[in-house]
Structure 1
Amino acid sequence: MESKRQQKFAGVIQEELAQIFQREGGTFLPNTLVTITRVRMSPDLSVAKVYLSFFNTTNTALSINTVNAHNGEIRYKLGARIRHQARVVPELTFFVDDTNEYVERMDSLFEKIAKEPKQKEEEEQEDSE
């Protein structure tokens, strides 16, 4: 359970990183939209787990590796933006947020399940006629 302090600081980090990726993310991820879906802070606010979602890319593994390769540059830019709000710029660890893929997979499963009973009902109606 995150404290209010962790949640507030995570919100600040998420907002600032979103602006960084929006303005300058095209330099290392051209034609890719990066969304920061969630930020989780450690209790001492020294480590931020940043969950990213990528749109308009075919290889998310390559995209996350590219972001990790530019981790120092992103952390430096973040530090320049939050220098008056935080004593220490947190270490950033980036992860792929696969929530959208999970939702799509579950939707397709539910659609598949919803179609099966209809097919059985239709067969039963045909058999009774």
Structure 2
Amino acid sequence: MVMSSNVTKLKLLRELCRDAKKNKKPTLSQRQLRVGELIKKSLSDFLQKDAIHDPELQSISITITQVMLSPDLKKANAYIIPLGGDNTETIVSALNQHSRYIRGKIATSLSLKYIPTIYFREDDSFKYAAKIDTILNKISQELN
């Protein structure tokens, strides 16, 4: 009995480590972080104040959790979470369809030499944290 519970714990810990290696994000330079924060603030202001005439984006509150830039600052991945978490894929695809318009609008508020191309992505960090929490709860229940 003790042997099987140890094997189960070991399997859960291996799964946790494997997932952590998959979701490891590269380190960013100070410039990437600074420009990412500027774009995040500008995107948040734009999505809060300006209207995009798309029925899928009407009256939806969107949170920009993070903006990660490529090393050459030409591409930006904006990670979003819609309030309520409903229809995330449709909201992401609608934002990606309007990304050129959004890029043009935020360019006026940013004083950068080059405004990066923005790709909207679903932020799955909360799902990942919930998965880790579930695994840790299983381990703690088996220990008791």
TM-score under structure 2 length normalisation: 0.69
2:132 aligned residue: 106
Structure 2 alignment gaps of length 5 or more: 1-26
Output one character per residue of 1:41-61: Cα deviation in whole Å (capped at 9) or x when no partner: 122222111111222242211
Question: Rg larger in 1 or in 2?
Answer: 1
Matched to 1:63, the amino acid is: I
Query: In proportion to residue count, which structure has more helix?
Result: 1
1:38 aligned residue: 66
Matched to 1:59, the amino acid is: N
- Structure-2 separation of matches of 1:43 and 1:57: 30
Aligned residues: 116
Residue 49 of structure 1 aligns to a residue whose secondary structure is strand
Give RMSD over aligned pairs: 2.0
Indicate how the Cα distance of structure 1 residues 32 and 89 shifts in structure 2: closer, same or farther if over 3 A, else same: same
Q: What is the Cα deviation at residue 27 of structure 1?
A: 5.2
Output one character per residue of 1:22-71: Cα deviation in whole Å (capped at 9) or x when no partner: 22367542343211111111222221111112222422111111111111
- Structure-1 separation of matches of 2:86 and 2:64: 18
